[in-house]
Amino acid sequence: MDDVWNLQEALKMCGCDPGEQDGQMGPKTEAAIKHFQESNELTVDGVCGDQTYTSLAAEMGLIADRAGELQRYYSGDSTDEAADSDYSDHAETMSYADDQAEGMVDEVMA
């Protein structure tokens, strides 16, 4: 149950709505996995296998990095434009627009 709970949370943070975070592998969670897979040009099967897990972990790393950058920015510790540029390049590679990723980070930081 914890694995599915964490999967649902990660999918939500990546912009793929799994519905209510209940720890159950239901149709909405499967649909969210398929959406994530399609968005990341993976085999679309609704199963969080090795490729999907690896891609999801990479996206979560980008979100965590961006959250740290935004935290430093809002606390006045950094105005690193190069880091913002690097993040934008990574976000485009992972199929997420910078503003969408920032919205996800804002939700996580709230």
Q: What confidence tens digit (pLDDT) does each residue in 56-80 have?
A: 999 999 999 999 999 999 988 765 5
The average pLDDT across 92-104 equals 51
Q: Which carries the bigger pLDDT value, residue 87 or residue 20? A: 20
**CA distance readout (Å), 3 to 18, 31, 89, 92, 98:** 14, 17, 30, 28, 28
pLDDT at 19: 96
Q: 97 vs 92, which has greater pLDDT? A: 92
Q: Is the entire prediction scored with pTM above 0.95?
A: no
Residues found in the chain: 110
- Name the more confident of 76 and 98: 76
Coil/strand/helix, residue 15: coil
Q: Among residues 104, 19, 39, 35, which one has the least CA distance to residue 66?
A: 104
Residue 2: what pLDDT?
A: 87
Q: Is the separation of the CB atoms in 34 and 46 below 8 Å?
A: yes
* pLDDT value, residue 97: 45
DSSP 79: -
pLDDT digits (tens, 9 = 90+) for 29-59: 999 999 999 999 999 999 999 999 999 999 9
